[in-house]
Structure 1
Amino acid sequence: MTDRLLKIAETKREKVKAGVARRRAKENRFRFYGIASISMAFAFLIVLMTTIVSDGYTAFYTTEIKLTVDLSESALGIEGEDINKKTLMNASFRKVVRKAILQEIPVDGRKNKRALYAFLSNGAEYDLRDMVIADPSLVGQKIEYWAQAGDNFNQYNKGNIKAETPEDGRMFKNQHIAWYDELVREDNVRTVFNSNFFTNGDSRDAELAGIWGATVGSFYTLLVTLVLSFPIGISAAIYLEEFAPRNRATELIEININNLAAVPSIVFGLLGLAVFLNVADLPRSAPVVGGLVLTLMTLPTIIISSRAAIKAVPPSVRDAALGVGASKMQMVMHHVLPLAMPGMLTGTIIGMAQALGETAPLLMIGMVAFIVEVPSGPLDAATALPVQIYLWAENPEKGFVENTSGAIMVLLAFLAFMNACAVIMRKRLERRW
């Protein structure tokens, strides 16, 4: 009998060991799958970021060509006229810069001259004009002027156009390479920081296109979004959490708020198109309309995060405030709201970061227009940084390819900064109960 019991106990022990071994094997497999998934996601992220950086870092520098320009009155076509801003605005600066490049690389024939003129950006003459208007004493002199290079010249200098590529497959031909080499031998080519990328608006010329107009448009759009969504979202959260009666109407409102948080952003764009543009007749492609649309999209996020922050405040704080004679409004405003504010601010920053990266709703309300001028207010026509990236991505030119990746890098930096602010704020202001 004893041997039988021992055998049964041994059998059960073996079964238990086998079961434990199977559980451990399952746990190890699950851990392996988790680590493999995280590693794969991280690898994809590294590949994505490497691709963006390798394509976009060249957008942060550009090429210039040194010219000796004749700013005499006869060369400018203003001989015998008073030197003032109006006269200089009408002067022949294009002729001056073209004559200067011909002096560096003498060529004959209309075709060769046109190809040589393309070495210079269309903005070179305007930069020279602005320089002379700022210092009229330059008129009558010969000066050294570093002119902005054209896109093909710029891309070849950066290495984005390869000489090894067959001539039929590149815009920069063998003759152009020979001219480029001659300019390099004379030390007339240099690489400088591309300030145009950060200070200009959009342009048809890749070397002149910049993100400043889109950045200002995004700023005004987010400003309108913040001014509207923050007070409305917090007020709604306070009412639903502290004052609203618990009935079917309140439950319906809460369900709809949660559902709105999952609605695709393009639906909000369609709503803005139908209400704000077609009914309210607000200006198309204006940051104020974009801000209104993004407010509708951001409100559910702010309300949900604000309610969670209010719920995290211990009931003892409310009881203590009411116990010393505070009214319910005083209890909420003086005690609950200050303690919940860090969580509310964190949710608001996350909502703003989400709004900064949205493109679809802004496309629906017309913020996809080609805007050259930098907007001076929320009612001016403007575009946003994500929409600017979308517009540039449609252009096949090498310059716009690098501009697209460079703008993505700037946008990702803004998003990382905003999310970092949310994390730091949560860590520093959170309270442990």
Structure 2
Amino acid sequence: MTDQRSQAEIVRQSLKRRYRKERRFRAYGILAIAIALSALVVLFTDIIGKGYTGFTKTTITMEVNLDGEMMYLDDATDEKQMKMADFVEPLLQALIKQVPGATEENREAVRDLLNPYASNELREMLQANPDWLGTTQTLTVLAHTDVDVYAKHAGDSAYSIKLSERQQQWVDQLIEKGVVQTSFNDVFFTSGDSRDPSRAGILGAVVGSLLTMIVTLVLSFPIGVAAAIYLEEFAPQNKLTDFIEVNINNLAAVPSIIFGLLGLAVFINLFGMPRSVPVVGGLVLTLMTLPTIIISSRAAIKSVPPSIREAAEGIGASKMQVVLHHVLPLAMPGMLTGSIIGMAQALGETAPLLLIGMVAFIVDVPGGFFESATVLPVQVFLWAGSPELAFIERASAAIMVLLAFLVSMNALAIGLRKRLERRW
């Protein structure tokens, strides 16, 4: 009886130690998840806290007298006169009337409240409405970047206010009068890059990313799927195929900047292709994405039960018919999921594109695959390194847009997998 009790006690003590280890392991897992979630919360809080103001702009609304004599303009349809006309003076005179206490003596201080591109906005408005010449119109133009920073971040020590005390008082009074207002920043989504933060937008980068992703998808998906089908269904098992498989797995772990060096050496230096164009960027990202697509496609093909192949062969189907009519349709959900995840990874890459010249300052929105362009991650890189603090909120806002694209692509991959997958 004593031996049985001692044995039972040993078992109980062993179970207690096992349960304690299990509880500790579970606690470590919960702690790891909590740390990861905390890091994500800190990251998103920082990005959103800095970037949400990038989705708003500061404008000045006032009544502008479009006097032809003041602008040295007789005919608004004459292109030569429009190029030589003075579009700053009517805006400046209108603003002087709105600023309390402003006179011609401090006109330069008042002028610094206007955006340098406000005259271009007025020119475009008058070109679209030539009958406005000689009339008074209520117009809304962009405020200067310094005014924009002050209106959004007054009191924030992270931003240096460059306006003088008198100008700050003017802006406060104009805000109270409703002349200076903040609204949704449509410029951020409808224009390309600019040296002026208030005029900088992501449209050029978004179009460049779209063109680059189209090239990447058109090349990487069919090549990757074809390579996976051959290696899994047709290739003989020998040293050559083993060597190819090992190298595919190794390529998936190669740093992305190596693919940038490869693209620089092969596509630009050897083949003489132009720098900073979506075609070259798409080719480089294709090389980087192919290993991921091949590996995921092979895993999807392996998941198809052998009974499917045996049943198809049993009714007389050829090897090609088995693959194309039975294996490929069943493996396609997994292939699509892997491809979308690979494309999302390519969308967020910066290093390989820097080496092929897509870091250039591009103002115009690209109109084709062979026009100079940049991509969204590179645009974030350029803005984050700018000495202008106003670009920080633009960079954070662009990061939010990029994250939205990545989350959407991953959600699409999960949705396709859930919708198309079949269980046996």
Shift in CA distance, 195/166, structure 1 to aligned 2, threshold 3 Å: closer
Aligned pair in 2 of structure 1 residues 157, 170: CA closer, same or farther (>3 Å)? closer
Matches within 5 A, 1:136-285: 136-158=130-152, 160-162=153-155, 170-285=161-276
**Aligned-partner SS, 2:387:** coil
Identity %: 55
> Residues 352-382 of structure 1, C-alpha deviation per residue, up to 9 Å, x if partnerless?
0000000000111111010000000111111
CA distance in 2, matches of 1:166, 1:278: 44
* CA distance in structure 2 between the partners assigned to 1:68 and 1:397 by the alignment: 31
**Unmatched 5+ residue regions in structure 2?**
none
What is the CA distance between 1:67 and its match in structure 2? 2.4
When normalised by structure 2's length, the TM-score is: 0.96
Offset at residue 179 of structure 1 (A): 1.1
Residue 116 of structure 1: how far off its partner (Å): 2.1
Work out the CA distance in 2 between the residues paired with 1:48 and 1:322: 54
Q: Which residue of 1 aligns with 2:384?
A: 393
Whether 1:73 and 2:68 are equivalent positions in the alignment is yes
Q: 1:290-316: CA deviations, max 9, x gaps?
A: 100000000000000001111111111
User: In structure 2, what is the equivalent of residue 98 of structure 1?
Assistant: 92
CA distance in 1, matches of 2:17, 2:188: 60
Other structure's SS at 1:432 match: coil
Give the direction of change, closer, same or farther, for the CA distance of 1:200–1:256 in structure 2 (3 Å limit). same
Question: How much does 1:69 deviate?
Answer: 1.6
Matched letter for residue 44 of structure 1: A
Contact preservation (8 Å) 2:76, 2:127:
no
Residues 1:123 and 2:117 aligned together: yes
Q: Which residue type is aligned with residue 109 of structure 2?
A: A
Q: 1:403 aligns with which of 391, 394, 406?
A: 394
* Stretch moving more, 253-262 or 58-67: 58-67
Counterpart contact for 1:62–1:207, Cα < 8 Å: yes
Which amino acid counterpart does residue 101 of structure 1 have in structure 2?
Answer: L
Q: Which residue of 1 aligns with 2:298?
A: 307
Residue aligning to 1:358:
349
Aligned-pair CA distance for 1:96: 2.4
Deviation at 1:187, TM superposition (A): 2.4
Contact 1:64 1:146 in 2 (8 A): yes
Q: More deviation in 59-68 or 339-348?
A: 59-68
**Contact 2:358–2:373 (8 Å) recurs in 1:** yes
Letter of the 2:412 partner, please give it. Answer: C
Structure 1 position 174, deviation (Å): 1.1
Deviation at 1:82, TM superposition (A): 6.7
Instruction: Report whether the alignment pairs 1:113 with 2:100.
Output: no
Shift of 1:12: 1.2
Report how far residue 172 of structure 1 moved: 2.3
Contact 1:71 1:96 in 2 (8 A): yes
Q: Deviations over 1:101-130 (max 9, x none)?
A: 233232354xx4333222111221111111
Q: Secondary structure at the match of 2:368?
A: coil
TM-score normalised per structure 1: 0.94
- Which residue does the alignment assign to 1:38? 33
Residues 161 and 172 in structure 1, CA contact (< 8 A), matched pair in contact too: no
Distance 2:8 2:204 in 1: 74
RMSD of Structure 2 on Structure 1 (CA):
1.7
Deviation track 1:242-266 (CA, whole Å, cap 9, x = no partner) reads 1101000000000000000000000
- The separation in 1 between residues aligned to 2:25 and 2:348, in whole angstroms, is 34
Q: Secondary structure at the match of 1:234?
A: helix
- 1:77-117: CA deviation from partner (whole Å, max 9, x where unpaired): 123x57334533442212322232233232354xx433322
Structure 2 counterpart of 1:144, one-letter code = T
Distance 2:11 2:406 in 1: 52
2:364 pairs with 1:373: yes
Q: Equivalent residue of 1:358, what SS? A: coil
Summarize deviations over 1:128-160 as a string: whole Å, max 9, x none: 1111111111111111111111111111111x1
Aligned length: 422
Stretches of 4+ moved more than 4 A in 1?
Answer: 164-167
What amino acid sits opposite 2:65 in the alignment? D
Q: Aligned partner of 2:244: which letter?
A: I
- Taking a change above 3 Å as real, the CA distance of residues 63 and 170 of structure 1, as seen in their structure-2 partners, is closer
CA contact (8 A) 2:187 2:199 kept: yes
Q: Determine if contact 2:191/2:202 at 8 Å carries over to the other structure.
A: yes
The secondary structure found in structure 2 opposite 1:147 is: strand
Q: Is the 8 A contact 2:72 2:86 kept in 1?
A: yes
CA distance in 2, matches of 1:380, 1:308: 38
2:42 equivalent to 1:47: yes
Q: CA deviation at 1:11?
A: 1.1
Q: Counterpart amino acid of 1:172?
A: L
* Greater Cα shift, 340-349 or 174-183: 174-183
Contact 1:362 1:368 in 2 (8 A): yes
Say if 1:166 and 1:282 are closer, same or farther in 2 by CA, change over 3 A.
closer
Which secondary structure state, in structure 2, belongs to the residue aligned with residue 207 of structure 1? helix
What are the ranges of 5 or more consecutive residues in structure 1 without an aligned counterpart?
1-5
Q: Distance in 1 between matches of 2:310 and 2:403?
A: 45
CA distance in 1, matches of 2:389, 2:157: 14
User: How many angstroms apart in 2 are the aligned matches of 1:423 and 1:186?
Assistant: 51
Q: Distance in 2 between matches of 1:288 and 1:222?
A: 9
Deviation at 1:171, TM superposition (A): 1.2
Q: Give, in whole Å, the separation in 1 of the partners of 2:175 and 2:403.
A: 36
SS in 2 for 1:366: coil
